[in-house]
A and B are shown apart, each in its own frame.
Chain A
């Protein structure tokens, strides 16, 4: 199993350009997530998809859109990149998003290797 894969690994954009970050998981997980990580800020949730067919905003959704293409794939699109979007982007997946049963196994998130994006 490859786990969670992301493409591309690195990307440099000019302000105003658009691009899509791709993410796929082969663990049959229901929930998928996009985070950005900036120095000293920790991981911040951009968007998530609790299950196939649904997407919801996270903490920092402005400037981004997402598509849950199928159960395996969850893409993140930057329509008009800005320097403030320079960051490392991580995709993650888990069996479940909610903690009604406090089952650690279903809540564990598995991360992809990340995409390092620079916007000039």
Chain B
């Protein structure tokens, strides 16, 4: 199984809602990533988990809260988002968190904040 799955595919939420994005991989990878991609721009890294510990937080606002319950799962909890947070959220995983490991990406969750 070389797939990274993400749910839901699409999400529409209001600014007062709380929702979560989910990501799963069963490749035995020990590093997992959240990226944000706005239209016509490249993906931007948000968080890196390595061996289930948060190793990088790229100065992301606290309304985004990552969680890694185990080595196969990665969540992104959303609360009090703004319309400018509307974007494609991509999850990725790699064998370890080293920079020479290729990253396997999921299809993304398209988030719209009203």
A and B bound? no
